[in-house]
Amino acid sequence: MRLTRTLFVFLLTLILFSSLVTLVYLQRNRVFSVAAPTFPYNSLIIPAPLVSRVAHFDKPPPLNQSTRIEVYNFVKANPGIHFRGICNFMSLSIGVAQYHLGLLTKAGLISFFRDGRYKRYFHSKKFGESQMKIISLLRHKTAGKILSILSERQQLSHKDLASRLRISSQALTWQINRLRKMGLIDFVREGMKVRYFLDQENAAIVKRCLDFIS
């Protein structure tokens, strides 16, 4: 108990002494600053235009680098292109492509659409969600051919469509069921035959989207 009280008194004395030293130091500095000559502080002020210019370069614009401009133009010219496609066609490493695509996406210049395991890129604000979905499907080899063929012909039988695609009847059934669930394809039965055609509401959108990837 006595040791604790002694320690408390010592700490209190130390705090008071430190405070006194600080006050004396501040008082002396105040006196010195009055006697000291006045420096032309106005001459050290940085002009406002220079400040704004420095701030501008702290956050460089997204299209100020050649590779990034090329990536941006490539995505604009190839809507729905997936990440690996960008790397392969432009001969970019994964890290470089990720870096530039990330900056362009953050700047709102491009956007992406999730297509299963693919991340497909588009020019921002040019395509709606339904268009991005259809363009993504058109980028798939078999599904894209089905939509393209049916956009040229009003109706086509299961057998004829499988023959045009050079795939098995079972493979075509799987693709058709997938597209029907998305509301893009409808069918009509004629006895034992089934004829497929584009859904009326989406037929015009499919045709417009075909123009973007042709």
- Three-class secondary structure of residue 117 per DSSP: coil
Global pTM reads: 0.66
Over 80: is that where the pLDDT of 26 sits? no
Contact 124, 109 (CB under 8 A): yes
Contact 80, 143 (CB under 8 A): no
Residues 187-198, mean pLDDT to the nearest whole number? 91
Compute the chain's Rg from CA coordinates.
35
Nearest partner of 213 among 123, 139, 146, judged by Cα: 139
Select the more confidently predicted residue: 50 or 21: 21
Pair of tokens at residue 81? 């292109």
Reported as a single tens digit per residue, the pLDDT across 55-84 is 443 455 688 899 999 999 999 999 999 999
Domains of the chain as residue ranges with CATH: 66-126 (1.10.10.10), 130-213 (1.10.10.10)
Residues 102-112, mean pLDDT to the nearest whole number? 95
Over 50: is that where the pLDDT of 49 sits? no
Nearest partner of 138 among 211, 49, 47, judged by Cα: 211
Bridge partners (DSSP) of residue 63 are none
Tell me the DSSP string of 42-67. Answer: GGGPPPHHHHHHHHHHHS--TT-SHH
Would you state the torsion angle of the CA atoms of residues 175, 177, 178, 180, taken in this order, to the nearest 10 degrees?
120
